[in-house]
Structure 1
Amino acid sequence: MTTSTTPEASAATPLFDLHALVVAVRRRRRIWCTLALLGLLAGAAVAVLLPPPPAAVTKVLVAHADDQPNDTGTLMRTDVALLGTTQIADKALRSLNSSEKPEDFMQDYRGTGLTNNLMQIDVTGDSDAEAVARAKALADTFVADHVQRMQKAAKTESKALADQRDRMRDELAQVNKEIGDRSPESDARASASIESLFARRAELNSRIADFDQRAEEARTGTPKVVAGTQIVDAPRAVRHSLPRSAATDAAIGFVLGLVLGLAAAAVGTVVADRPVLRRDIAANLGASVIAELPRRPGRRWQRRRTRAARERLTATLARTVRGSAEPVSLLELGSARSTSVLALDLARALAAEGPVTVIDGLPGQELAGRRPHPGDPAVVGGERAAALSPQERRLGVGSVAPGTAWTGLQDLGTRTVLVVRAGHGSTAWLHTVARQLADQLIAVIGVVLIDPDPRDRTDGTLWDGLPTALRGHNGRHARENVTGRTERPSWARVPDIDQEAR
């Protein structure tokens, strides 16, 4: 087989066929539906078998001395980080008289900044009472630690300002001593130095007053911080609703399972490379799709339509067999049961014109192991095909699945109809089937597609281009030239090789 590398062929064949991928994933709905259902059940089971531990919650209003309207939450993030320190955890455990390690206790609670000044503390415990006690101890410890830190900072700042003020007062006393009882008008020669001393005294008085005011503000700000930092929502146990938790976990598990199933189906589709569209199957086998049949009868209202399609296909194949001077076979790929039923229907339709023998070349017991009914055609094994009379009409049934003995397919028939289940064979195997049938000089007169996608709108007819199995058709032309027999045309168009060459 040759692959065209012309620009037209490259443009016609997309690098990534999204339509084929969507169809293949939809056909694998059993996989992702199963995974979605498993995720749903797993989520519900987790909610029932692994319920959340008892928990408590409290909210603390945190005031800061440096609060600003345009604060981006830096101060609150600092408070949350301080809550998660071993110092806070150790003090809380001491108030609870607990011997638990602070590092272990830190794993059982967390702080969340709701606003710039509001923090929520979530705590878990062995029981609701223990969780509430832990939450209260943490909140009280954090409030006390925060107030202590703010008071210490304010005290330190006030002391620093007072020390600076005292140094200014000492310097002012020295300046006043230098000035003494003199005035700027007392001595004309020393007027410049006296004026500088008076200016320096005025500056020192101003700065001392400023330091007094700032120290007073530092001392005044501490009570506001102390009064503003408090527990605004008392610790309380968090009530868990089992139905709500089960529904939430089941929904999450369903979504995760569905996503995982879709991803697995998509990856499996790309890796397996199994054509499902009639366009791709026809192109890879080098033969047109002549009919489609569902894999199963379907629902009650679909059975009549399926039966009508099967009857039309049987009538079409019967006309083809009657018009062919060579034996015809049905070769299956992934649809042994449907092929067996179709072969029996076709043999019954041909039995009205004379005896028909079905040659069973299937690897299983689809035909040989069936219970015969009155009026059914005779079924013989492939090893007895050579003993049949040349005048007796025969209908071969075989398989082109992996492991097929290719050399025995000619005994079933030199013309064949491939019965292929969509999505069963890979692209490489469909190419192998076309090549092997061409080597055996077996002409493919059409493909019957089993279990097609109901939303497939692609064309399965090969309208132009030479057939794929060129060697088989060339061999048939050579054989016809030797025997002088002209083959009757069929509805499956096969262009004349010599005319194409000319």
Structure 2
Amino acid sequence: MTTSTTSESSAATPLLDLQALVVAVRRRRRLWCAMALLGLLVGAAVAVLMPPPPTAVTKVLVAHKEDQPNDTGTLIRTDVELLGTTRIADKALQSLKSPEKPEDFMRDYRGTGLTNNLLQITVTGDSDAEAVARAKALADAFVADHVRRMRETATAESKALLDQRDRMRDELAQVNEEIGDRSPDSDPKASAAIESLFARRAELNSRIADFDQRAADARTGTPKVVAGTQIVDAPRAVRHSLPKAAVTNAAIGLVLGLVLGLALTAVGTVVKDRPVLRRDIAANLGASVIAELPRTHRWSARLWQRRRTRAARERLTTTLARTVRGSAEPVSLLELGCARSTSVLALDLARALAADEPVVVVDGLPGAQLSGRRPKPGDPAVVSGERAAAGAPEEHRIGVGSVAPGTAWTDLQYLGTQTVLVVRAGHGSAAWLHTVARQLADQRIAVIGVVLIDPDPRDRTDGTLWDGLRTALRGRAERLPRQNRTSEPRTERQPMWAARVPGNDQEAR
């Protein structure tokens, strides 16, 4: 029985509730909107306060002897790496007559291969003129170095071919010396040897001609490479537009800030595990959501929003007043994350009840939320928790307390044996909501229902517990025999976490 109950509970609870995650991220839109705005401002500030240095660009057409139509860019990548060597940087600095070190100069320029034969050189400097001069010196140094390397390669290849040709000529001279004036017909006995010498001489003459042709081709290819390697785009300064750079950087900062804000919000939501849906809050507290109140700020609420909030508060006050009138036991309002809203709700409830009978509000909130306020004409009396027991027995007591961390749980029963939890959505963690439900059950305080403050307007989940007859409603119904002084036992409600015990499930059935 225990195993099956555990497996069913695990199957019903998803590892990651995407709906709750989306709602929680949307509720914390101030955070990621602030991050996005911060990124936008930082991006714009970087563009204004840290403008790019003066920059010049030039383009060089680089010809290679090994150029092939299907080249994947290996040769131009080699040229880019050669551009970033101290030899090229040193030649450019020598032409500029600059005492700067090649290692420092290499940090001020970069090469980019645009195509297989087109190289772009970007150089920075202290001014536009200096950047242009640096770009020209660097391009000239690269072209000169490339031409020199191609010439040295062609000369070395031609020399190797000519050396091979000379060795063939020496061997040919030895063969001619062996042949002398003989012919295959002059000596029939040695005709086979003479024929092999003639064949060898013909082969050597062919190979010598081939080496001559290859050496000539190697020398001929060099002028094409030299003529093909040239500066095709003269060095010019790059014009920077401050408004364009500010807009671009601001857009990038906006996107990065938004992504970072959404990521931080999502991670924080998963780590903190603070329920925001009425379904989850009701399940964790073991009590149904009986009403909702939107949270509006005086400085930002529109007129129709204030009217709507006032109408919702009046309906809730009427419902609570009807409940309190029909109960012989004191009722309390216990807040979690919304002390001000709970204080206002308690005063509205006390004013509604004061028309029929005397009412006193017991202030059990930390600080001076109620007792320190300036009373208005006709407001009910507000007493502290220490003076609550001294009130007249015919007075209706409405206790106001808190179930936030640090609460003195044993004092809550003096505020009322029945309570309405006023909870702000997304304020308490799931673990703390379980703690509240467990502590109220231990103190034998029945929860009539939950008033949700600041709910998500797009929340369509059901906050009603369909097994509520064995929670708050059953607890209130079974208090009637005791109020009538009968001998039937008094049964208290069980929170959700206690109802999941196999024995309690069996009793519920």
**TM-score by structure 2 length?**
0.92
Structure 2 residue aligned with 1:240: 240
| Paired residues of 2:288 and 2:468 also in contact (CA < 8 A) | no
Mapped pair 1:463 → 2:466: yes
Structure 2 residue aligned with 1:195: 195
CA shift for structure 1 position 485: 7.9
- SS of structure 2 residue aligned to 1:357: strand
Q: 1:400 aligns with which of 385, 393, 403?
A: 403
Q: Distance in 1 between matches of 2:70 and 2:435?
A: 73
Q: Distance in 2 between matches of 1:47 and 1:251?
A: 11
Structure 1 residue aligned with 2:415: 412
| Paired residues of 2:481 and 2:488 also in contact (CA < 8 A) | no
Which deviates more from structure 2 when the two are superposed, residues 273-282 or residues 4-13?
Answer: 4-13
Alignment of 1:151-300 (within 5 A): 151-296=151-296, 298-300=301-303
- Superposed CA deviations along residues 113-133 of structure 1, whole A, max 9, x for unmatched, are 111111000101111111100
Structure 1 residue aligned with 2:442: 439
Q: What is the one-letter code of the residue matched to 2:486?
A: G
Q: 1:369 aligns with which of 369, 372, 375?
A: 372
Q: Distance in 2 between matches of 1:11 and 1:314?
A: 39
Structure 2 residue aligned with 1:58: 58
Structure 2 residue aligned with 1:118: 118
Mapped pair 1:484 → 2:486: yes
Q: Distance in 2 between matches of 1:417 and 1:482?
A: 24
CA shift for structure 1 position 449: 0.3
Q: Distance in 1 between matches of 2:164 and 2:244?
A: 63
- Superposed CA deviations along residues 474-496 of structure 1, whole A, max 9, x for unmatched, are 9x7799399428899xxxx999x
- SS of structure 1 residue aligned to 2:92: helix
- SS of structure 1 residue aligned to 2:187: coil
Q: What is the one-letter code of the residue matched to 1:131?
A: A
CA shift for structure 1 position 41: 0.6
- SS of structure 1 residue aligned to 2:401: strand
**C-alpha distance 100-479 of structure 1, shift in aligned 2 (>3 A):** farther
| Paired residues of 1:285 and 1:468 also in contact (CA < 8 A) | no
Stretches of structure 2 lacking an aligned partner (at least 5 in a row): none
Q: What is the one-letter code of the residue matched to 2:69?
A: P
Question: How many residue pairs are counted as aligned between the two chains?
Answer: 495
- SS of structure 2 residue aligned to 1:190: helix
| Paired residues of 1:123 and 1:135 also in contact (CA < 8 A) | yes
Q: Distance in 2 between matches of 1:226 and 1:498?
A: 92
Q: Distance in 2 between matches of 1:498 and 1:264?
A: 40
CA RMSD, Structure 1 to Structure 2 (Å)? 2.8
- Superposed CA deviations along residues 405-453 of structure 1, whole A, max 9, x for unmatched, are 2222122111000000011111221111111111211100100000011
Q: Distance in 2 between matches of 1:461 and 1:283?
A: 9
**C-alpha distance 501-241 of structure 1, shift in aligned 2 (>3 A):** closer
CA shift for structure 1 position 182: 2.5
**C-alpha distance 457-3 of structure 1, shift in aligned 2 (>3 A):** farther
**C-alpha distance 501-468 of structure 1, shift in aligned 2 (>3 A):** closer
Q: Distance in 2 between matches of 1:127 and 1:412?
A: 78
Structure 1 residue aligned with 2:12: 12
- Superposed CA deviations along residues 32-56 of structure 1, whole A, max 9, x for unmatched, are 1111111111111111001111111
Structure 2 residue aligned with 1:385: 388
State percent identity of aligned pairs.
Answer: 82
Q: Distance in 2 between matches of 1:363 and 1:349?
A: 25
**TM-score by structure 1 length?**
0.93
CA shift for structure 1 position 16: 1.5
| Paired residues of 1:38 and 1:257 also in contact (CA < 8 A) | yes
